[in-house]
Amino acid sequence: MTQTKPLVALRLALKILFLFASSAWAQIDVGDYTISGSGEIGGLPQGFKGDRSRFEEYRDIPETVIVPQLQLMIGGKKEDFYLNFDTYKTGLNDQQYTLRAGRYGLLDMEFQWDQIPHWFDNQFARTPYAVNNPGQTTFFTLGSKPTATTATTSCATSPLCQWLNGNAHSIDLSLYNGIARFNLRYTPTPEWTFTGSYWQNHNVGSRAFGTLFGTSPGSFNITELAEPIDYQTYNIELGGEYHGNGWSLGVKYNGSIFNNLHSTIVWDNPMNLSNSNPVNGALTGPCVNSAVLNYATGAGSCQGRLDLYPNNQAHSFTITGAATLPYKSNFMGTVSYGYMLQNAPFLPFTINSAIAQPTISQRSLGGDVRPLLVNATLVNNFFENVNLKAFYRYYGMDNHSTQVLMPQGFVNLDSVLMPGAIQNVIYSYAKNSMGVEGSYNFNRWLSAKLNWGYERMHRHNLEVFNQDFFTFGQTVDIKPTSDLLLRASNKYLWGNDSPYFYFADPNVPVTTASNLSRKFFEAASRENKTSLFAQYSPRENLMFYWGFEYYNANYLFATLGTQYDNNYSPSVGVNYTPFNWLKLFANYNWDKYTWLLKAMDRTNTATQTPSNSCTPFVPPSQNRCWNSNGVDQANTVSVGSDIDLIEKILGLRLQFTFSNGSSIVYGSGDQQSTTPAGNDPPVKNSWYQLLARFEYNIQKNVALRFGYYYNHYTEKDFGVDIMQQWMGNVDVVPTPNANTARSVFLGDRIKAPYTANVGFFTVSFKF
């Protein structure tokens, strides 16, 4: 009879159990060293139903033998050297290894290897493309094409849908992140510290990515692909610090290099039928490019070419100093200057050979952004119960990238030349901040603090050049006894109403300050943030805690745009140990986030303004204004207990965690439209986790862990649940959308439900 892996694991575990069930196992002495450690091995029988990629989104829980952890510690008997080796989930996709060695008080080194999987979908995604990536460019090729480009609302009559059903194959969408780290810390004397760190990150896999052809907006066809990901990042950090008598000075260098091994993708256009048989879709020869997009005849660009993230690098130099000054003052300062560089060569405007390439002034961007941080902070507590703080901070992202001119325009989506000179926009910004803070300890159990701050935000080449923010805050901390703690804080921020230059709309003169529509992060604002926290332990074995977070932001003087957003988040919890052998805990959090948006459906900002299109006197059939407000809510509950069923021999951990969330978007208005604003279907999700774990200490050094793990997830998201490869029968309101009927999607449903029932048993041992 074939044995399942978990059964094999059980037998193996029992053998190990009897092998180790000996009190003779203890720390091992080898010459001048002592060796100790621990390990755990077992199995995970399970029953599973649903979307495995969601269950194992960032983890690996296979039905197999597992080694949850291994630990080895070697120490010198003179207590001088040490070596620790830890492993976590050995051999699985989320495994981690750490080796730490050094000499106490002198040298510490750590090597770590960590793997982080990230699953998107392994069940629903399908694509008709074959993928070939011999080098920097990844090619997505089609072995056949639809017989026609006819846009219909029924799959049965859609050549594209029929072709997809016959030619699409399954693909996995996932990422794998492998991270190697080396950290070193060398303290030759208590005054000197040298640190070094090297970190290499390899991120590989694929994820969904939208591309399109056409004259969007207008006529277009989307081809959703699995973006090839192969990122390699190399980071190094070197630093040294000297700590003198009352002062310290440190310098640090950070370097980071990012390489994208798949920086370009080229994909076939399924709507170009110049090289396919109209009867069966078989390829008949080379594809023919056309400078004129014509879905009726299947003419257009044969391929699309897109630039993925280019290689880049960053370097920064930091000096940090601190000094103890007279009158019980402390000064801390930091200066950091960096470079973010990117100079990958530009791709041509288009891969469509039928369209003449416009000219461009540069072959590459010469991307050069220089972050600069200057901070000076002074803290003083000359007076016994008074603490004063003052700071100044400058942070700027100064963009030295090249202005690139495209005097003949650009090519839109490999399909049509868009004449008219354009150039890139060089964004920069800088923040100057300063503030003072004073706190006073009224007595041992009561302290209060006031703070005031000012910040000027300067933006270059964005709508608001300069904006000033003022903050005023108060905190109170009350601790009348060792078992009662109350904390309260409030911060009020107001951002002034600065001139707003509406670059995006050519119909609005650049010099006209416009309040019609403001991006909320550039709007005048009034923000309030309040935090309350309390902790009460009436008895040593009982503790209650409460928390409340509140945030409100109002964006003023903007007729259109975000009007406000609010967040409320109360929490409550208790820890109770009624008996030595029983510990109970529970906590609950509710979180609510709301926002309000005002918008106007318009094609012309000069003649269609809120004043003439949204007033009550405008007939509803002409009313263009609409509102949308959203409510996101989440509840999180965790209850559990730790029970010593038999003291020091048998323990039980029970824990239940539940989290549910919803996102509801309401809409109303825009009565003149064929698609007036309305309520969106709510998005709801819920996640349950139950853990029941026994730990049986067979011997001093051997324990058996076994139990049950339940995990259940459901989500309803209309926009994701309906996904298929072809959506021509979905996007039919108010009228069938021919663009959607010509589009190809992966159909991945990244939020599918699952139910997992997992048993586990492991044997852990120490020596």
Q: Are strands 137-141 and 264-268 parallel, antiparallel or unpaired?
A: parallel
Q: Which is nearer to other proteins, 384 or 647 (CB)?
A: 384
Radius of gyration for the alpha carbons in the chain, expressed in angstroms and rounded:
32
Number of residues lying near other proteins (CB under 8 A): 198
What letter represents residue 455's amino acid? E
Q: Scanning residues 377 to 406, which ones bind other proteins (CB under 8 A)?
A: 377, 379, 387, 389, 391, 393, 395, 397, 399, 401, 404, 406
What do you get for the CA distance between the two ends of the chain, in Å?
A: 36
The residue from 429, 492, 656, 754 that contacts other proteins (CB under 8 A) is 429
Residue for token digits 């603490």? 387
- What CA–CA distance (Å, rounded) separates 760 from 762? 7
By the 8 A CB rule, do 620 and 671 touch? yes
Closer of 150 and 589 to other proteins (Cβ): 589
Least Å from the CB of residue 730 to other proteins: 5
Q: Is 576 in the site for other proteins (CB under 8 A)?
A: no
Q: In the complex with other proteins, which residue's Cβ is closer, 299 or 600?
A: 600
The amino acid at residue 52 is R
Tell me which of 137, 353, 587, 699 binds other proteins, using CB under 8 A: 587
- Applying CB under 8 A, which of residues 161, 715, 752, 765 lies at the interface with other proteins? 715
Taking residue 289's Cβ as centre, other Cβ atoms within 10 Å add up to 20
Does 632 bind other proteins (CB under 8 A)? Our answer is yes
Please tell me whether residue 125 binds other proteins under the rule CB under 8 A. Answer: no
Residue whose CB is less far from other proteins, 274 or 762: 762
Say if residue 366 is exposed, middle or buried (CB neighbours under 10 Å; 0-12, 13-18, 19+). middle
Among positions 599, 614, 752, 763, the unique one binding other proteins when judged by CB under 8 A: 599
Q: What is the smallest separation between the CB atom of 706 and other proteins, expressed in angstroms?
A: 10
Among 663, 697, 699, 755, binds other proteins (CB under 8 A): 663
DSSP states of 569-608? EEEEEEEEEEETTEEEEEEEEEEEEEEEEEEE--S-TTT-
Stretch that binds other proteins, among 18-26, 168-176, 292-300, 756-764 (CB under 8 A): 756-764
Output the smallest distance, CB 32 to other proteins, in A.
14
Map the footprint of other proteins across residues 88-117, applying CB under 8 A.
Answer: 88, 94, 100, 103-106, 114, 116
> Which tokens go with 363?
């072959």
Phi, psi of 533, deg, nearest 5 = -150, 140
- Angstrom distance (rounded) from CA 590 to CA 88: 33
3-state secondary structure of 6: helix
Which helix (DSSP H) or strand (DSSP E) does residue 162 occupy? helix 159-167
Q: Which amino acid is at 53?
A: S
CB of 18 to other proteins, least distance (A): 22
Question: According to CB under 8 A, which one of 462, 542, 584, 652 is a site residue for other proteins?
Answer: 462
Positions in 255-274 near other proteins (CB under 8 A): 256, 258, 260
Q: Does position 513 bind other proteins by CB under 8 A?
A: no
SS3 content of the chain, % helix, strand, coil (to 5): 5, 60, 35
Of residues 303 through 362, those in contact with other proteins by CB under 8 A are 304-307, 309-310, 312, 314, 320, 322, 330, 332, 334, 336, 340, 342, 344, 346-350, 358, 360
Q: Which residue in 26, 292, 504, 510 binds other proteins (CB under 8 A)?
A: 504
Q: Closest separation between CB of residue 463 and other proteins, Å?
A: 9
CA distance 752 to 53: 9
Stretch that binds other proteins, among 59-67, 125-133, 158-166, 295-303 (CB under 8 A): 59-67
Tokens of 454: 């000012």
- List the structure tokens of 362: 């540069």
Nearer to other proteins, 276 or 743 (CB): 743
Ranges within 25-44 binding other proteins (CB under 8 A) = 40, 42, 44
Give the DSSP H/E element, type plus range, for residue 65.
strand 65-76
- Name 321's Cβ contacts closer than 8 Å, sequence gap at least 6: 247, 248, 249, 250, 331, 332, 333, 334
Touching other proteins, residues 209-228 (CB under 8 A): 209-212, 216-217, 220, 222, 224
Among 154, 157, 284, 675, binds other proteins (CB under 8 A): 675
DSSP collapsed to 3 states, 599-664: EECCCCCCCCCHHHHCCCCCCHHHCCEEEEEEEEEEEEEEEEEEEEEECCCEEEEEEEEEEEEEEE
Q: How far is the CB of 283 from other proteins (least distance, A)?
A: 25
Q: Looking at beta carbons only, is 285 or 345 nearer to other proteins?
A: 345
Do 473 and 489 touch, CB atoms closer than 8 A? Answer: yes
Footprint of other proteins on 283-302 (CB under 8 A):
none
User: Least distance from C-beta 277 to other proteins, angstroms?
Assistant: 29
CB of 12 or CB of 347, closer to other proteins: 347
CA 86 to chain centre: 28
DSSP structure class, residue 489: E
Please select the residue that binds other proteins; options are 63, 591, 642, 644, rule is CB under 8 A: 591
State the binding string over 680-709 for other proteins (x if CB under 8 A, else -): xx-x-x-x-x-x-x-----------x---x
Report whether 549 contacts 531 (CB < 8 A): yes
Strands 683-697 and 561-579: unpaired
* Of the residues 45, 178, 547, 753, which one makes contact with other proteins according to CB under 8 A: 547
Q: What's the min distance (Å) between Cβ of 278 and other proteins?
A: 27
Whose Cβ is closer to other proteins: residue 196's or residue 661's?
661
Judged by beta carbon, residue 437 or residue 644, the one nearer other proteins is 437
